[in-house]
Structure 1
């Protein structure tokens, strides 16, 4: 039996099951839950049930709108709406849209189907919420050359309380300062509650059936660490967590937006289903009491941009985990670090993938050689095993006993090729997730026709080469004695190749290089074992001749 191919077949089968499960999850009917207008405001009591609302239940969805303020920085093209001072549209100027030269649109209020807006507000004493109209002194702002930051101020006045909402954009940083300046000119003390939330639909950016990706809520605290929250889970059970630290946000493939409140401020994380396909995730905190004539400044930050490791680490503790490698993070993170170091030397992500694959192969060279040696020995025994099968026919018990005697006589472990492969599997799966989740590969060219390692090979050359290498590997391996297993293993390269037609070029490149190196090593070991087998037979013949 070819244990290596059996293990690969099991891994492949599990992958198909995981993809099927992800497809079913994506298309499962949503749980029934109360819905409300997007215009609703969280209750003021931070100790109340998270996500509770103080407006009547409404089966519709309405996002109020004022005038848009255009903001241009080195990284962003943004629309801030005077209604609540919401961030309604956010384009990333250094990231292109899929199959387009236009800016990547991360936030948008168009709802076709994507709805993705960032909101903040104050609760208590008729203070301005995201449903309050603010004023601004200008309708457009632009960061000038040599300017390190750009400030956009919005104002609202209610019952003697003046609230300034101040956005500060920094050059070459995806962190946006969003600060409140609250001046109490009324005759009574006030105790505001501040909230920060993101509203998002549950339909956009879900990947494909073959390559599903996660889009949903996410949060982090030092106690609970990094968590993801699917929209269907928000519908079943609203989030209700109180913490002294952490952040909340929306996660999608390659990008993340997260509200990061002031350090040390007690916060309650909440989620809510607002309509059939609209959800919100946020955090709210009770502020200190502001006496008449006093002023309070309330700082916060919004990270909205790419999942670039260096930027995420600089923004907030735990935000780097939004590049989610799952249970293989302990392996994947060092692999990405090494990949980045190689890229810094060669300045080409495709070349870096090739060199990293070679390094990993070199690290496992001796272990792989042990597995290939076992398979080569099985290959040499294949004719004798076939003869035994013809001799014993359907008598499986006698066949198994004869096989065990043969393995014992030849000092061969039939499972010897399995263990070395199992040891390497976590490393190669971790590298798979690194290549799938690294935004650095998005729109990164390799050479020639490969101009985006995160996209499908436009001419399918890499998947075809990948299929060819798998066929070569099949020829190098011992042929299974069982006809059904032989037929399955024959079709495996074809099935694998079909799936790789839909995989990003960077992933296919990695598998292709790995296969080429495996073929070279396997061919060398096969040749060496065959030479040993021939020498052994000649020795037996010589000894037999001497006895006669």
Structure 2
């Protein structure tokens, strides 16, 4: 490999290191969301989310002056939720879905760890809940429609299961009877049917709505640039993502309690997404609605709403509308089924990132390998083999080109002796030599360049997707989404005590077995070629494997497994291909030369 080729590789790797380091320590700010013209759609409330108001700006302004007072949530009766995957309850105060736990997921890998609690009622830390109602329009006062504190009356069964929906009713005492039926499937999708019957003798206008309210930012907020957390929504095929800190983003005061409103013509949804969990309000496909997101800084409440078109009911008329609520884990297979069932673009609620054209097929392949193999660690290794097989034609040309470059090494050295210090003559002579021998000096860099987006895509897949959460490999590696739990301090897991806490300086210094294997594999791959003649380049290349070892040591262990497998396969491919071209890399000689001042030149 000549100096020009090594310079290109060196520049590529250093650029990769700089980009990785910069984005790790200085994550870029999220772009400001596009804000629709401000429409004052919400009513300020006491302790819980405000309800949207129907009937246009005039009705909204009138309702805003008469704020709905809400006291601390009393101990209202509850309806139990019991499904194969969910447990919890629904409060009859407001009909809130505010108590929900995920039976299949625990907060840690310990056997006695608590199951994940997703929704919590008002009064508990991090209150997070869904509520539904009717926004008052012409002919109605706010207290004549069910609100966040309305006490509903249960009808029939008091346990919500996939086989037994529950129904609750409320009569406003002035001729309007409201009914709400909640059903649920085997996974995470609620179906909420709201109806109203008008026997008041007057014509009234009102609009059905659904609300997700979150008191404060989630305690488990990662605030990591590679992951989106906050509001996620789809509006007629356009995905929007808004961080909590940018919700909404106005010039004067980014948290003045106003709403960001989007008019959706026929298909969409909106909600909150966490690292692994999500809640989403979903109108029926083809239904127009207003998608609203806002932050109330007075009460530290984040809120998303769906407001359906206002209906006008004459005396004796009734109206009914059905919407859905997803509340659960962001499982690829489950979300894909919901998308196939009519929830437009739902698979994009998973944060696939900039390289979505790579992350989606990479995850699809990894998911199917895991279905076949039954072990995510071996599936990552299998994925690496397939990726290397796909790139093999390019790698073959690259390594053949590198072998030919070795054959030209004596001629290059002779050219340098003749040209002396005339670098222009050296470059011109080399280009003529490459052209004559039909050698592309940049061919050896192409596999490296292709590995960078693949690396970032796999990192995204391993960090973001729930399928890697708590996924075991073998022995001490019981969570491939977490850093290597072993350490030199516990003799790489053989001694009966835990290693240092991941993410600490001690864990960075006393690395585990996977980062060590990563460094060794990079070192051996590097020694397929002699060290560069330039002392500065020689020093940088000598340190590079160990810099990567410490830098990637704190990454998800699944990513380190991929990198080790990739290095091992690359080493084997390069060694065999170069030998097939008549060039035998002197690996041990190159290792020895690394300890000398003058690098050793390989022999054919």
TM-score tier, shorter chain, comes to 0.7 to 0.9
- How far 1:87 moved relative to its partner? 1.9
- How far 1:521 moved relative to its partner? 0.9
With over 3 angstroms needed to count, the CA separation of the structure-2 counterparts of 1:166 and 1:141, relative to structure 1, is same
Higher relative contact order by CA 8 Å / sep ≥ 6: 1 or 2? 1
With over 3 angstroms needed to count, the CA separation of the structure-2 counterparts of 1:185 and 1:326, relative to structure 1, is same
* Alpha-carbon distance between aligned partners in 2 of 1:88 and 1:386, rounded to the nearest angstrom: 75
Give the total of aligned pairs. 519
With over 3 angstroms needed to count, the CA separation of the structure-2 counterparts of 1:362 and 1:149, relative to structure 1, is same
With over 3 angstroms needed to count, the CA separation of the structure-2 counterparts of 1:119 and 1:308, relative to structure 1, is same
| Kept after mapping to 2: 8 A contact 1:39/1:64 | no
| Kept after mapping to 1: 8 A contact 2:49/2:213 | no
- Any idea what the Cα deviations from partners look like across 1:487-542, whole Å, max 9, x if unmatched? 333333223222322222222222221111011112223434563899xxxxxxxx
Task: Verify: 1:471 aligned to 2:523, yes or no.
Answer: yes
With over 3 angstroms needed to count, the CA separation of the structure-2 counterparts of 1:10 and 1:226, relative to structure 1, is same
- How far 1:220 moved relative to its partner? 1.0
With over 3 angstroms needed to count, the CA separation of the structure-2 counterparts of 1:481 and 1:208, relative to structure 1, is farther
Classify the secondary structure of the residue corresponding to 1:239.
strand
* Alpha-carbon distance between aligned partners in 2 of 1:513 and 1:496, rounded to the nearest angstrom: 15
Match among 153, 163, 172 for residue 178 of structure 2: 163
Q: Which runs of 5+ in 2 are unaligned?
A: 32-37, 251-258, 487-511, 587-604
Task: Verify: 1:76 aligned to 2:100, yes or no.
Answer: no
| Kept after mapping to 1: 8 A contact 2:72/2:123 | no
- Any idea what the Cα deviations from partners look like across 1:467-505, whole Å, max 9, x if unmatched? 221121222245334433333333332232223222222
Classify the secondary structure of the residue corresponding to 1:359.
helix
Q: Which aligned pairs between 1:266-415 and structure 2 lie closer than 5 A? A: 266-275=288-297, 277-315=300-338, 316-378=343-405, 396-397=423-424, 400-401=427-428, 403-404=430-431, 407=434, 411-415=438-442
Match among 462, 484, 505 for residue 557 of structure 2: 505
Counterpart position of 1:41: 50
Q: Which runs of 5+ in 1 are unaligned?
A: 27-32, 535-548
Question: What TM-score comes out, normalization by structure 1 length?
Answer: 0.83
Counterpart position of 2:249: 236
Match among 151, 173, 182 for residue 133 of structure 1: 151
- How far 1:92 moved relative to its partner? 0.6
* Alpha-carbon distance between aligned partners in 1 of 2:437 and 2:126, rounded to the nearest angstrom: 65
* Alpha-carbon distance between aligned partners in 2 of 1:374 and 1:53, rounded to the nearest angstrom: 77
| Kept after mapping to 1: 8 A contact 2:384/2:565 | yes
* Alpha-carbon distance between aligned partners in 2 of 1:218 and 1:441, rounded to the nearest angstrom: 22
| Kept after mapping to 1: 8 A contact 2:270/2:291 | yes
Classify the secondary structure of the residue corresponding to 1:487.
helix
Counterpart position of 2:275: 253
Counterpart position of 1:10: 15
- How far 1:392 moved relative to its partner? 7.9
- Any idea what the Cα deviations from partners look like across 1:131-163, whole Å, max 9, x if unmatched? 3333446996364xxxx4232333322133222
* Alpha-carbon distance between aligned partners in 2 of 1:173 and 1:427, rounded to the nearest angstrom: 32
- Any idea what the Cα deviations from partners look like across 1:299-358, whole Å, max 9, x if unmatched? 111011122233213321211111232343333333333333323322222222222211
Task: Verify: 1:87 aligned to 2:97, yes or no.
Answer: yes
- Any idea what the Cα deviations from partners look like across 1:432-460, whole Å, max 9, x if unmatched? 43333332222222222222222222113
Task: Verify: 1:98 aligned to 2:108, yes or no.
Answer: yes
Match among 149, 163, 175 for residue 189 of structure 2: 175
* Alpha-carbon distance between aligned partners in 2 of 1:527 and 1:266, rounded to the nearest angstrom: 65
Counterpart position of 1:539: none
With over 3 angstroms needed to count, the CA separation of the structure-2 counterparts of 1:467 and 1:495, relative to structure 1, is same
- How far 1:367 moved relative to its partner? 0.6
* Alpha-carbon distance between aligned partners in 2 of 1:419 and 1:25, rounded to the nearest angstrom: 31
| Kept after mapping to 2: 8 A contact 1:217/1:249 | yes
Q: Which aligned pairs between 1:17-28 and structure 2 lie closer than 5 A? A: 17-22=22-27
* Alpha-carbon distance between aligned partners in 2 of 1:299 and 1:450, rounded to the nearest angstrom: 45
Classify the secondary structure of the residue corresponding to 2:165.
strand
- How far 1:388 moved relative to its partner? 7.8
